[in-house]
Amino acid sequence: MSPVRFEMLATDGSARTGRLHTPHGVVTTPAFMPVGTRGTVRNVGVDDLDAVGAKMVLANTYHLMLRPGADVVASLGGLHGFSGWEGPMLTDSGGYQVFSLDPDLDEEGVTFASTYDGSAVRLTPEDAVAVQEQLGADVAMVLDHLVGLPASPAVVRDAMERTLRWSERALGAHSRSDQALFGIVQGGTDPDLRAESARRTAALGFAGFGIGGLSVGESAAERAVALDAVLPELPTTTVRYVMGLGDTEGVLDAVERGCDLFDCVWPTRLARHGKVLSRLGDYSIRRAEFKADSGPIDPECGCFTCTTHSRGYLRHLNVTGELLGHRLLSIHNLFYTLAVLADAAAAIASGRFSDFRGELVRSRASRASE
């Protein structure tokens, strides 16, 4: 039996809420995972993650295998002991770096030039599994071949087929009984390729499924077509994870279609540039109009930042480059993003998801246009 299982609680149309059971705790879905690339979410500590309501955190296999090394992480108690985060964790496989770093790729695997010292780094599907078993997250992902969009049908099919072959190899290599291995669906925005990839990946019998190859240049309409092709082919009894998706409208669109789990650097990356995410629309705290503003980012937000600090103070921190500004905006943006998913789960349970989604999207659009 897999150490990770999905329990359905309620549905509202195709949208669903449930519980993802893991060795380190239970995650109510739909849920958002803050991204802790190098074993830490940028500018916030594990106490901050607890305070904003995070339940599950993602870490990056590629970066951790290079620094400090998977063996070092393992010797310090795995990712949980190493980072101090006691809740569920997921590690990606390095597949995103296949897209972003343009490595040399062959049937056996990929060869990167290290982002740290330029040395050659080899990663195969078996290596990716071995590294993630050392890191010890609750969920590991197979190594996949991700391509940017738009791309030719031949390129997309080639990547999809390679991902399927690598998935079989990953399953054969995976041995850690307290860790689940998730498959990844590819296929670009071609609905036929997407459906085929989902059907064949599901047949391999993974404990859960990532929907990859999105948020890489496609439009919202193209993403919707891809999701509509994939979801009917995946088991309803396993979790569906849309990889790399984190904007409010995109996430709500995917939840409406029956997706459960999300991750993105969006909340913390934007915070470092002074960008606020909120029900009132997204905006820059650096705007001159906030110089002497005594009000919070959002008067209805219950995060530490909004209940403690004014927009005037937050603007001051940001324009003067104070690191505290990055932390405080990160806390707010994460709180907001996690609250959207928590509220979505409650709305699904009460049969009012459509109303919830419509009200939030309209609020954000109307405030942003003011």
List active site positions.
Answer: 92, 263
CA dist., res. 342 & res. 233, Å (int): 26
Alpha helices in the chain (DSSP H): 46-52, 61-66, 70-75, 78-83, 95-100, 125-135, 153-173, 191-203, 220-230, 248-257, 266-272, 304-308, 311-319, 323-349, 353-368
Tell which residue, 240, 246, 207, has the closest CA to residue 226. Answer: 240
Handedness of CA 73, 104, 116, 148 (dihedral sign): negative
Using the CB atoms, write b or e for 196-218: b if 16+ within 10 Å. Answer: bbbebbbeeebbbbbbbbbbbeb
Q: What distance in Å separates the CA atoms of residue 338 and residue 354, rounded to the nearest whole number?
A: 18
Q: Which residues pair with 304 in a beta bridge?
A: none
Q: What is the DSSP letter of 291?
A: T
Q: Are 19 and 27 in contact (CB under 8 A)?
A: yes
CB 210 within 8 A of CB 234: no
Asked whether the bond before 153 is cis by omega within 30 degrees of 0, the reply is no
Torsion of CA 170, 171, 174, 178, to 10 degrees: 130
Backbone angles phi, psi at 363, to 5 degrees: -60, -45
Report the DSSP pairing between strands 283-284 and 275-276.
antiparallel
Query: How far is residue 308's CA from residue 296's CA, in Å, rounded to a whole number?
Result: 8
Task: Supply 13's token pair.
Answer: 């149309």
Give which of 250, 263, 261 is closest to 220, Cα–Cα: 250
Cis previous bond, 191, omega within 30: no
Instruction: Copy the structure tokens of residue 117.
Output: 């010292």
